[in-house]
Amino acid sequence: MAVMDFIGGEILYFNKPIDWTSFDIVNAFRYKLTRKLNVKKIKVGHAGTLDPKATGVMIVCTGKATKRMEEFQHQTKEYVATLKLGETTPSFDSEKEVDHTYPIAHITIDKVKETLSSFVGEIRQIPPVYSACKIDGQRAYTLARRGEEATLKEKTLVIDEIELLEYELPVIKIRVVCSKGTYIRALARDIGASLASGAHLIALERTRIGDVTIDKCISPEQIDGFLDRIQ
């Protein structure tokens, strides 16, 4: 059996399922961990939020290791994103219904590759209105869901790599390696605009944070088995 000190601090890797929030993962693990340790509470947090419709790598820290969360948030991340061209949604993903449609007949694979390459390097990006960014102390998504206008400022970030994995209009699949603070939903929006069309995410998987890859992660269904193997 593995010996782990969750109060002293442990770092765990989870594969977040679709329609779970990042808090759902933390909450589920914290609940089962407190029962395993027979304690009333223990500090548990995650290093980097994933949208409910996204899946993939999440780093969860316990006890004193929660002080390292910011360190992990600054590490390079890799995503595999599936975009549907010719349609936009208010949330830039499938969480909201399609609000506008655009032509795609002019789009070619060469044009897509050329457009993707234009995003490599340092870029400026406006975060999505449906995001956890704060405006005057309130989350942007809170204002958006109340129908209030939310204006977000551009942020500077770095796209290290973009690779076209699949091309079958109206759908393309891309691999993105990027810095902290990158919203892949916003990148999808901007790619669509650069193609003189529209785009939104229909699938998103975070495949890596730093050196942590999917194969090193456990699913929420494996929490009980994982805790049974420790002492």
Residues tagged active-site: 51
For 114, list phi and psi in degrees, rounded to 5.
-65, -40
Region at 170 (left for phi over 0; alpha for psi -120 to 50; beta for the rest): alpha
Among residues 55, 82, 76, 75, the alpha carbon closest in space to that of 219 is found at 55
Strands 54-62 and 199-209, bridge-based pairing: parallel
Q: Is the dihedral of CA 187, 192, 198, 203 positive or negative?
A: negative
d(CA 94, CA 198): 14
Strands 87-88 and 77-85, bridge-based pairing: unpaired
